[in-house]
Amino acid sequence: MATAKQWNLPNQISLARLCICGLFVADVSVTWPYSTTTALVLFAVGSLTDWVDGWIARRNNLVSDLGKLLDPLADKILICAAFLVLLERGAVPLWAVVVIMAREFLVTGLRALMAARGAVLAAASSGKWKTLAQMLYVLLVLTQMALAELGGGQRGAAQLLQLPAIVLLWLAVATTFTSGVLYFYRCRALVFSGESETEGGEAGLGRRRYSSSSEKRMARP
């Protein structure tokens, strides 16, 4: 169980991002004139908290195992919810959503496997770039939809964002696929090995392994 020390400020911010995700889904689930504009604001705030909690954790040395799990989990839920909303509104192609969500589920399964073997898989730099590309794409598309929702002369501005949105979509898909491959390569020793953690499974994480000779030495009186 998480201790009071583990529920530090960065982890509380990550938990708040999960709450923002709930508000985001509730907002787009209700039909009212400015739901997309409000969704844009909520997603922007949620995306900002992703940077804030990491900055506070690194600056104040508050990095914890709970944070390593909670932070990427909150990101995945927020991102998946946003892409499902865009898919439901016809703003993103199905194939892109399948690639993005498949990667998220596969890496989540990899984290569960690592946890079962006594290791914590923290977010890598490739995963952070992936998240940034995804968030920028969602923000841009939501901005398009909000401008169209506001009507009037804003529709022309929404059209100008069409090409950047296409570029960002391909960038998001490319970084998503690449980061997924890098995660599996990084943990290949645990993924493709049937050994337990103390028998060499942690070699892929760069941890020291205990040899049988060292165990014999420790067993001597």
Global pTM value: 0.77
Residue 2, amino acid = A
Domains and their CATH numbers in the chain:
9-191 (1.20.120)
Residue 186, amino acid = R
Residue 120, amino acid = V
How many Cβ atoms are within 10 Å of 180's Cβ, its own excluded? Answer: 21
Distance (Å, whole) CA 66 – CA 157: 42
Closest CA to 143 of 43, 28, 52: 43
Q: Express each pLDDT in 200-209 by its tens digit.
A: 333 344 443 4
Select the more confidently predicted residue: 217 or 144. 144
What's the rounded mean pLDDT across residues 143-172? 81
Q: Express each pLDDT in 93-109 by its tens digit.
A: 999 999 999 998 888 88
Do the Cβ atoms of 177 and 146 come closer than 8 Å? no
Helices 9-29 and 35-59: crossing angle, nearest 10°? Answer: 170
Residues in CB range of 99: below 8 A, 6 or more apart: 173, 176, 177
- State percent of the chain over pLDDT 90: 37
Length of the chain: 221
Local structure of 94: helix, strand or coil: helix
Distance (Å, whole) CA 119 – CA 11: 19
